[in-house]
Each structure stands twice: as C-alpha cells, then as structure tokens.
Structure 1
C-alpha cells in the first residue's frame, strides 16, 4: 500500500480559505446619501464534516492573545495568507483523499467528502461525533479506509527515494480549494449519490457489512430491502 510522510494534525480538520468580499460601507453610505461599497480581505473557516457552518472573519480580527500580543487570523494561518497575497492557489493541508483509491474509495465518496469540507485523509481519520455522522451511510467505510491508510503509513518502513516519489505524487494530487462552499442542495445530492452505491452491492456484500458491524450476519433469507434498511441504520449510527 502507498505510504506518505506524517504531518502535524493538530488543526487538520480546520481549513482556512482566504478571499475578497465586497460589502456595504454603511457609515459612508449614510454620509454620502448613496450606497458605498468596500472590499475586505476575509478568511472563511471550514470545519470538516460540518454541512453549513463556515464562519467568516476579517483577516485582522482578534483570534487569541499570546502574552501581551494580540494575534489575528492572518497570523494564525500565516502560510496560507501569504499564498493568498501572492495569488497562489490555496490548498488543504494533509494527504489527498485520492490516495485512498487503492483502499476502495469511490468517486462519489470523494465528492461527498469534498462537499462536506473533508479535504484530506488525516482530516477524515480525525473526524468524530456529529461531523462524522454527516457522512451518513458512508461514515464507517470511509473512516475504516482512513484508519487502514494511517496504520499502513505509521508502521511501514520505506526507503528515502520511495518517500520522495510519494511526496511528489501527493503534491500532484493536491487540488485548489473551492472558493465557495457547496449549497445545501449540492450537499444533499452528494450524500444521496454516495448512499446510492450501497444499492449496487450484492446481498452477500450487504450481509458482510452487517456482520462487520454487529459480529454476526442476518439469519435465514432476509429480503433485499431488509438488508438495505439494516445497513442504512448501522451506517447512520456511526
């Protein structure tokens, strides 16, 4: 299996996206008796697995106090902010989700992850609670793929030249972050498309999924609808 180089995962489920927004300058509009607009530099903070919550802050807004110094959001993500100022593409930290191809990830599952702001394998591996459940039926399969990838990476011993090749492949696979979040309708469509893949599984494959989650396969000859409903309930309870 493909391995990669470990990274700092302390904030891996949080992705900043710097952008320009145009808003009304209300005091200036009131003074001049006409609408006056101004352009601001802001950062949109995206949380992996969060469907619609992405707060936006001015880049010079207060983030935290470090001793006597006030740190801004631009300082919090200084490298990403420099890329933004330089006109470079903003990319998420971590290992691209495409590296899970050999672990069985599908195109619809990749689209689902991106729709839910999950941009890396490390972010997927660190996903917990309600944000993990947002993946619905795909929560357990995707989480297991990420777990296996991380286990293989952490226990494998690779030669330095192979590591360099893998690092180059990771850089090639990295994609620019979308400037705008998907709409609720687009998120719902991505979830439905990924869930529909369970419809393509055979009865035996569905039984195997149920056995993996419960420790025993369904007895007798249950209907296909029973199997599908059981899998949906189990995956949704991730």
Structure 2
C-alpha cells in the first residue's frame, strides 16, 4: 500500500474537484455556442484556479507545479485550454528555481508516463504528474547527450579551419536554434547567402536539411 501524500492536508478541496464555480461573475465575452458552453463562466473558474495556486505557494516546487497542473485541468478556466496545463506547471517549476534557464517540456513525458486522466483519485493524478516530470527529464537528458556529441563532432570539423573562419559561429548558431535557414545564417554571420550556403555544405553530414524543399530550406543538427 502506498503511503499517504505528505502534503495532502495542505491541498485545498478545489484541487480534488470539490469546488463550485460562482455564477456571480459575468463572462468577458460571448463566444459561439456551437464551440463553447455559454454557461462555462471562465472568469469565475480563473478565480478558483488562482486561489489554489496561491494556497500552494509554500509547498515544495514539484508538488506546487503538480497542484497548479491538476487544478487547471479540473477548474478549466479556459474551455479549450487544457493543453496549457503542462506549460503552466513548467512555469511554476521555473519560477520556483527548479529549472532556471528553460521550461521543462512536460508534454514530452506524456507517453512514457502513461498519463493519468482527471477521473482518477487525487493521489493517482499527482503520481501521474510526477511521471510526466520523470519522462520529460529523461527526454531532455537524451537530447543533451545528442547535442554534446554533435558539439564534439563540430569541434573536430572546426579545428581544421583557419582562425578567421565563420564555422565556429555557425556551429554556435546551430546548437542555439532548432533549425536555421540560409537567410538566418547570412544575417547572423554577416555573410552573403552564397557564403552561408557554402558554410553549411562545409559541415557535411553533421547537419541535415529537414524541410525537403528546394526553396526556403532549413537545416538542423
């Protein structure tokens, strides 16, 4: 039997779905009824979610992020905004200094974590969120390992060039962005488009063209 959640007593009842949305708050807009429920009352739901977020501010960072994530899915301040829950949790983790330089891509951990839906008990939902965190961290570790390997390959390639070569700058640009285009390389390195194309070709198989097009092509490591 799993031990009870340590901070469960500090978790508001609204997090567990035991909340009622006040109907006193007027909706900010009137969206089409065939897309939205006109009685959803998003402003009141947002007030509920903010109250939960405020009450979780003294909890450990991961638990606070889990509660913010779970409460967003339960209160649903945005009728069609469930996809924002992982982003909100990642912002909580960053604000609490667990990930200071980036937002943890929690959505990448959904498949390996076997995501628990909102119909499960509270403890199981929080455990499911922790699975998202573990899956996302493992994915990030693999990506960092791949980037480190690419960095080593680029360093070997660059070592054979002249000191005034622009290849080191191109290598840094490739590692800093998911994809780069000829125009982007030419602008950042202050070279002509033809010069940018030659620099990209000099790197050989280390980078690959990912658009599959003849025009407006982009490359990635």
* Alignment TM-score, normalising by the size of structure 1: 0.27
Structure showing greater Rg: 2
Give the structure with the larger strand fraction: 1
Give the structure with the larger helix fraction: 2
* Alignment TM-score, normalising by the size of structure 2: 0.28
